[in-house]
Structure 1
Amino acid sequence: NILWYTELAFWLRLWKRSDEYGFLKDCPSQVLQQKLMDLDRAFRDCFDRSQPLKRLPVFKRKGTGEGIRFPQGFRIENRRIFLPKIGWVGFHKSREIEGAIKNITITRKADRWYASIQTEQDIEIQNHPCESEIGIDAGIKCFAAFSDGTLVEGVNSFRRHEDTLAREQRKLARKERGSQNWKKQKRKISRLHHTISNVRSDFLHKLSTETSQNHARVFVEGLQIRNMSASGRGTIEEPGRNVRAKSGLNKAILDQGWFEFRRQLDYKLFWKGGMLVEVNPRHTSQRCSCCGHTSKENRLSQAEFECIACGYEENADVNAAKNIKTVGQTEMVCEANHVGGRQQEPVGTREEVLPVAS
């Protein structure tokens, strides 16, 4: 049976009084309640049919996803935060706090602690200063190809640090588990993972900010990244093929951060009055952006495109980006016409029913 928040909150009071779990009294009560609310939400999302990818929550090992949320009782003065049962803590104020503070979340990444301050404020809907539209094709060798011909090389953060990470993990395997040297090496690996994440995040934020500032509409492929990066091992009855090659491809896909780039573009365009449009990626890499002819033979190689019908030559990724833009614009026009057609009936098609005198 699943215990929901009401039952868990009742048991929490009993656990605090027990000898075995009496240490829970050292933690602010509202922080524990927030954790129970998170668990309750995870259970409800699991049984929500509109979210088929959600799974039952599982126990996480120590050091994974550590974070606590304070809904009230905190204070902020200059560069200090007061947290209940912890006291005043100094912090680096990376930006000015705007709006009414709703809660503060404290998280740990590697050997650093971060305070995320959630605020509520009224934001006026803006009109984007530009009218430019652009299509983007995501790739591995080339992170992003724009329909205007711009090619952006990926930062490949994990691949750049992969050898160093493997070497440090071998050192960890040779140490006695739980010893002080083991803990030091564990922290060193955590810092390296944090560096890999920060390098990728910095690259994605800079590119998404520049793109959202210069273009009002951005068209991207509606890629199912979870399916693309699924394991190729298969099952015992049906073992996978080319598992090593598929594993390398999955690693390269996840190293790019396509989903995070798309997420950042979405909210940054929304803030500026722009729009992110996802289109069906089918045949965008095989269709000629000049004449529209679609054929596998149009792709001479991974990077070269030459139409067998009209002879048009272009970088394969740039050609795909142009097709993505065209498909997106076409879908938007069709949708606008469809909505407009439903709002107004054509003249002469409506039958008028007159009342019959009794």
Structure 2
Amino acid sequence: MTEEKTPHYTLSDFDYDLPKELIAQTPLKQRDSSRMLVLNADSGAYEDKHFYDILDYLNPGDALVMNNSRVIPARLHGWRPDTKGHVEVLLLRQDHGDVWETLIKPAKKFPIGSTIDFGDENQTVMTGEVVGELEHGGRYVEFHYDGIFMELLDKLGEMPLPPYIKEKLADQERYQTVYSKVEGSAAAPTAGLHWTPELLDKVRAKGVKTIELTLHVGLGTFRPVEEEDIDHHKMHSEFYQLSQRAADEINQVRKQGGKIVATGTTTIRTLETIGHKFNGDQYGQELKADSGWTDIFIKPGFKWTTVDAFITNFHLPKSTLVMLVAAFTGRENILNAYAHAIKEKYRFFSFGDAMFIHR
């Protein structure tokens, strides 16, 4: 039997029309009351549910894997020492020591050697010096300060909400998952925002293992695909970590016939990075503890090694995340499901509704 060849898709193949009013601006009062579109990846059949119905789709012996990365208050407002002009700096990831990869607005006015002051009207408490340039207009900034950087960041920084969210977030914790622990992300792993401690307790009571890993969400979240030929798109690297205990638990679940259910695309990227690193294209092999940087680009034609089902949100048109989901469901199935979600007025993007995708 010959293997069916994956069509060569272009960027336009992952476009869809979304009414602006369906972009969720604020989180729902109750996290797990979001709607959930359940999609069978093989048949394309879908059904309308709520997130708390997720219990009906998880079975004893399965593993629910979650990304425990915590968003740092990565948006800083500063000023130019000479003109006092306003500057916005978004921290993307720590490069080394006090040097960070950043996005600066307006970037063109900040060549290497430029400085930025941070603090309040009365006192500068931290300065940043541009020490290098990144692709796509980013800057390396070295920070100078007294004290502990993360403590200063808590005082000076804001939660870096995506640009399509125009409303101010009243409670900053609503842009964190309830299980976030390890600081380092520039954006939330948003599929996890639907979980509550009570619902996770019910999952465990049903006999489902809950397992954590870490992937710090970075520049890739903010970077659009610009190449019409998607094969030419280069993903940005993000740091991930899977502990020995987590790897052992996943392997045990797999041996006993349970499914590996990922919460979000960041969890998928971590599991599939490690699966491919140690097992090539082989499905269902043992995972190993690992940490490092991944620039994995999951698109149609991808060979899945580890993930059997997953929870995700509705993603931006022409984004790498739509391509990732299409790699599991097929392009037609996911775009049909999105068309249904738009017709039924589901809420889209970070604070929006969820999908559960399974076979």
TM-score tier after normalising by the smaller chain length: under 0.3
Q: TM-score, normalised by structure 2?
A: 0.22
Name the one with the larger strand percent. 2
Q: Which has the higher contact order (CA 8 A, sep 6+)?
A: 2
Name the one with the larger helix percent. 1
